[in-house]
Amino acid sequence: MVRSDLIDIIAAENPHLTLQEAERAVVAVFTEITAAMEAGGRVELRGFGIFSVREREAREGRNPRTGEPVDVERKHAPFFKVGKQLHKRLNGDA
């Protein structure tokens, strides 16, 4: 599923919303999740999962082609931890 599919589904399930209103709602949700993660916070959606940011320390890596050592800088990476209810549904336990 891509973002436009999600917008179409929301608009179809909510006939009082126009396609543009559904798109604004989806964009607003993604914008707020992104803003919270940029600020170093986490977003918890009960039953679905938790979006957070993890810090990866600087390390020495290897160039896969030459095998030469390469310095990899410290960076922040998005992380998603699946919620218990979603995990159960995906594994047929629900």
d(CA 80, CA 55) in angstroms, rounded, equals 13
Identify the residue whose tokens are 């396609």: 19
Residue-by-residue pLDDT tens, the chain, 94 positions = 999 999 999 999 999 999 999 999 999 999 999 999 999 899 999 999 999 999 999 999 999 999 999 999 999 999 999 999 999 999 987 5
Q: In angstroms, how far is the first alpha carbon of the chain from the final one?
A: 22
d(CA 34, CA 48) in angstroms, rounded, equals 17
Residue 21 · residue 6 · CB < 8 Å: no
Whether pTM > 0.85 for this model: the answer is: no
Residue 50 · residue 44 · CB < 8 Å: yes
